[in-house]
Amino acid sequence: MENRSIFALDGITGMLIAVVLLLSIVGGLTFWSVSTQAANSTNFYKMENEKEIKKFGGDAAKHIVDVQQGAK
């Protein structure tokens, strides 16, 4: 006869461990995303020499300046 326990890892205990683990991962990622958004919500970018940006070419990113990083 098999030992069947409701509190075995393949029963309620295992399900609760999996749920708590998944909810803690979701909570951690949510906290991380909210704190990142809060840190960058007051940061803005400034365009320099807008007239010199060409439609085609890869140098458009050179004209974007991070204002918060420039102030430090």
Average pLDDT over residues 30-57: 81
1-22 pLDDT, tens per residue? 566 666 667 778 888 999 999 9
pTM: 0.56
Q: How far apart are CA 34 and CA 28, in angstroms?
A: 10
Q: Kindly provide the b/e burial profile for residues 17-39, where b requires at least 16 CB atoms within 10 angstroms of the residue's own CB.
A: eeeeeeeeeeeeeeeeeeeeeee
Task: Name the residue ranges covered by the structural domains of the chain.
Answer: 1-41, 43-72
Q: How far apart are CA 68 and CA 51, in angstroms?
A: 23
Helix, strand, coil abundance in the chain, percent, nearest 5 = 55, 10, 35
Q: Does residue 25 have a pLDDT over 60?
A: yes
